[in-house]
């Protein structure tokens, strides 16, 4: 593995090896001193051309827990506002001597371009509506910790699938790990090429609730035009929100995931978000462990023998 750009075409044994490592790095995070010297002397650049709090902080925390140094690029305070191109910006940061870049960009494919231009590992921290692979890995880890495996689980991904890089990454990772995935959302918010995805699709959330092990709620993305394709937040909540009533229709062992930030009262009910079977905070904790595993694999070592 030279870069982490997409979960599509990632082999199952690679995903499982990363999740195995993540469990071990998660153990490091529970220690009195949650830091190991594995990447001492390495520098990780977080290049977020699009707003992010949790993903950027999670990568920085992961890098620091591995004793790597971090440098941060944020577009509002950078030379981007002076008209510098993506390529020139990336080359400039690379020339400072960074060993790996985490890139988030509103344009699909930007991390692939960086991987062509630079000879250092690139991690896709989210590109447009395309991919967000570390999110999918941390979600799969959270589910695997709860159920032991994804093999044979039925997972419903609910909401605005079309504009969601989280959904796209998760569909491929979960299907590769053996889960059966059903997309639930208004037909206008299903991807146009959904027949090529390893999934089923429906618009009837209530029909699937009794059969699912995991409900994965997507955020309603107002910034990507979500509000223009359904009439109102309250109508969305009515049809696709995980209310207390819908939560009660789930099997007693089923769980709810959400990538955050959550819109309480829209896609997730107030009580549901705080329920013991809502794993939202476990996802955040696992995010650091998964990113440690990915950084270590790209910079420190791999499992080839």
Partner 1 sequence: MREGARHFYFSDWAWQFGLGGSMRQVMTAEDLNRVVRRIANEIVERNHGADNVLLLGIPTRGKPFADRIAAAVSDIESSSCAAGSLDIGMYRDDLDSRPRTRIGPTDIPSPVDGADVVLVDDVLYTGRTIRAALDALADLGRPATVQLAVIVDRGHRQLPIRPDFVGKNIPTSMTEHVSVRIVPHDDEDGVWIGDEVLS
For binding to partner 1 (CB under 8 A), which residues are involved? Answer: 20-21, 24-25, 27-28, 31-33, 35-39, 66, 293, 296, 300-305
Classify each residue of 227-259 as buried b or exposed e, where b means 16 or more C-beta atoms within 10 Å of its C-beta: eeebeebeebbeebbbbeebbeebeeebbbbbb
CB of 228 vs partner 1, minimal distance in Å: 46
Of 27 and 151, which CB lies nearer to partner 1 in the complex structure?
27
Query: Shortest approach of partner 1 to residue 72 CB, angstroms?
Result: 24
- From CA 68, how far away is CA 295, in angstroms rounded? 10
Whichever of 37 and 148 has its CB closer to partner 1, that residue is 37
Nearer to partner 1, 74 or 285 (CB): 285
Q: Closest CB to partner 1 among 123 and 155?
A: 123
From the number of C-beta atoms within 10 Å of its C-beta (0-12, 13-18, 19+), residue 176 rates as: buried
Q: Which of 31, 251 has the CB closer to partner 1?
A: 31
Q: Which of 14, 77, 73 is nearest to 303 (CA)?
A: 14
Exposed, middle or buried, 56 (CB in 10 Å: 0-12/13-18/19+)?
buried
Task: Name the minimum Å distance from CB 301 to partner 1.
Answer: 4
Q: How far is the CB of 24 from partner 1 (least distance, A)?
A: 5
| Least distance (Å) between residue 34 CB and partner 1 | 9
Rounded CA-CA distance 203/281 in Å is: 28
The strand order across the sheet containing 199-202 reads 199-202, 180-184, 154-158, 214-217, 255-257
Cα(159)–Cα(174) distance, rounded to whole angstroms? 17
Nearer to partner 1, 34 or 109 (CB): 34
Residue 137 Cβ vs partner 1, minimum distance, rounded to whole Å: 15
Q: In the complex with partner 1, which residue's Cβ is closer, 104 or 297? A: 297
Q: Using alpha carbons, list the distances in angstroms from residue 24 to 18, 59, 298.
A: 10, 17, 16
Whether the CB-CB separation of 36 and 205 falls below 8 Å is answered with no
How far apart are CB 2 and partner 1 at their closest, in Å?
12
Nearer to partner 1, 261 or 300 (CB): 300
Torsion angle defined by CA atoms of residues 77, 259, 39 and 3, in that order, rounded to the nearest 10 degrees: -90
Yes or no: say if 254 and 212 are a contact pair by the CB < 8 Å rule: yes
Rounded to a whole number of angstroms, the minimum distance from the CB of residue 95 to partner 1 is 21
């Amino acid at each position: 593995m030279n870069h982490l750009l997409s979960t599509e075409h990632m082999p199952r044994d690679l995903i499982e090896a990363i999740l195995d490592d993540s469990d071990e790095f998660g153990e490091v995070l529970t220690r009195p001193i949650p830091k190991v010297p594995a990447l001492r002397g390495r520098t990780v650049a977080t290049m977020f051309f699009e707003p992010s709090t949790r993903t950027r902080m999670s990568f920085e925390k992961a890098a620091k827990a591995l004793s790597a140094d971090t440098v941060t690029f944020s577009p509002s305070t950078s030379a981007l506002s002076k008209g510098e191109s993506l390529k020139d910006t990336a080359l400039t940061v690379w020339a400072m001597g960074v060993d790996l870049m985490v890139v988030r960009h509103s344009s699909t494919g930007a991390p692939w371009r960086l991987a062509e231009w630079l000879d250092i590992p690139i991690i896709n921290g989210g590109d447009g509506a395309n991919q967000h692979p570390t999110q999918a890995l941390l979600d799969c880890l959270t589910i695997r910790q709860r159920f032991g495996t994804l093999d044979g689980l039925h997972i419903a991904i609910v909401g605005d699938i079309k504009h969601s890089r989280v959904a796209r990454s998760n569909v491929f990772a979960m299907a590769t790990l053996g889960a059966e995935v059903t997309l639930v959302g208004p037909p206008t918010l299903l991807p146009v090429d959904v027949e090529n995805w390893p999934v089923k699709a429906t618009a009837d959330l209530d029909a699937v609730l009794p059969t699912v092990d995991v409900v994965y709620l997507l955020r309603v993305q107002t910034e990507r035009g979500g509000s223009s394709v359904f009439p109102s937040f309250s109508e969305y909540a009515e049809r696709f929100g995980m209310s207390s009533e819908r939560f009660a229709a789930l099997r007693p062992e089923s769980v709810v995931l959400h990538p955050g930030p959550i819109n309480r009262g829209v896609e997730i009910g107030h009580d549901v978000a705080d329920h013991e079977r809502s794993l939202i905070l476990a996802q955040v904790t696992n995010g650091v462990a998964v990113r440690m595993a990915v950084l270590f694999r790209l910079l420190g070592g791999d499992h080839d023998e």
